[in-house]
Amino acid sequence: MTGSRIRALGHYQPTRVLTNDDVARLTDTSDQWIRSRVGIRTRHVAAPEETVDEMAAHAGAKALANAGLEPGEVDMIVVATSTAVDRSPNMAARVAARLSAPSPAVLDVNVVCSGFPHALATADHAIRAGAARTALVIGSDKMTDVVAWEERSTSVLVGDGAGAALLTAAEEPEIGPVHWGSFPELGEAVRIGGTPTRFVQEGQTVYRWTTTRLPELARAVCERSGVAPEDLGAVILHQANLRIVESIARSLGATRAVVARDVADSGNTSAASIPLAFSKLLERGELEAGSPVLLFGFGGNLSYAGQIVRCP
């Protein structure tokens, strides 16, 4: 086998939905203010007892079911998250236990909002090297755990959820080479830390970075896979906010692509946002099997990562 492919996807969102009017009862804002600035209408909020690994396991189980595989066939689990409370057992090990996967390699990846493409590349590299044959790659974050609801700049943005991709070895690679990196000098612009732990960002710095630097980096992802932007079937960016998503997609020139806009209904779910949006588009029948799909994440550390994959 010379590569890997995405065989199936799955996603999970908590049942509780918070509207903009609900958020306006917690902080000084309004539905019109939120929609005009970030394009978000609703977000899903996990229950206090609902954990990162629980959401991840739900999404992973759905991906397995959609692939027609059993947990015992998985030999690697990689979970991208930045909101895990405990350090050990890690989220991947807890997912393995929840799914009754007998002996997979278990890794957590913390690259915040670009975590899923980093995790996907890690699993793809392992399969290419012969270290794994079937990998479950999951993005899962409980961002509402790390937000202060009275802080308008961040509370209007976030939501909770998980998305998963089931990878298998393939004779011909269907996951293209990753293009990744970071801008460490700007790393403090997005932070999750302190006591109590809180999500904080320098909004103008992040917005300028995303709209001025990221289009060229997204084009570089396409160049590495030899796919022109106008030939893309879909563009699935980290769902930071609708203005950023639409600005990057427009600058990229992906004129015929379906552009994921799940942020409007789900909010910013950090590492979960790309697989969550991908899975929902596929489930609704909006994507063509085999078409090239750009996955591109960006955010905390001011890091980025992306690759072009073939739609399952």
Q: Give the domains, in start order, of the chain with CATH numbers.
A: 3-170 (3.40.47.10), 179-311 (3.40.47.10)
Contact criterion met (CB below 8 Å) for 284 and 255: no
Q: Is-contact 221 274, C-beta < 8 A? A: no
Q: For residue 226, with 0-12 CB atoms within 10 Å meaning exposed, 13-18 middle and 19 or more buried, which class applies?
A: exposed
End-to-end Cα, the chain, rounded Å: 18
Q: What is the pTM of this model?
A: 0.97
The size of the chain, in residues, is: 312
To the nearest 10°, report the CA torsion of 74, 143, 309, 5: 0
Q: Which has the closest alpha carbon to 312: 165, 161, 177, 119?
A: 165
Check pLDDT > 90 for residue 1. Answer: no
Catalytic residues: 113, 238, 268
Mean pLDDT of the chain: 97
pLDDT for 203: 87
Instruction: Report residue 2's pLDDT band, with 50, 70 and 90 as the boundaries.
Output: confident
Q: Which of 41, 8, 5 is nearest to 283 (CA)?
A: 8
Q: What tens digit of pLDDT does each residue of 74-87 get? A: 999 999 999 999 99
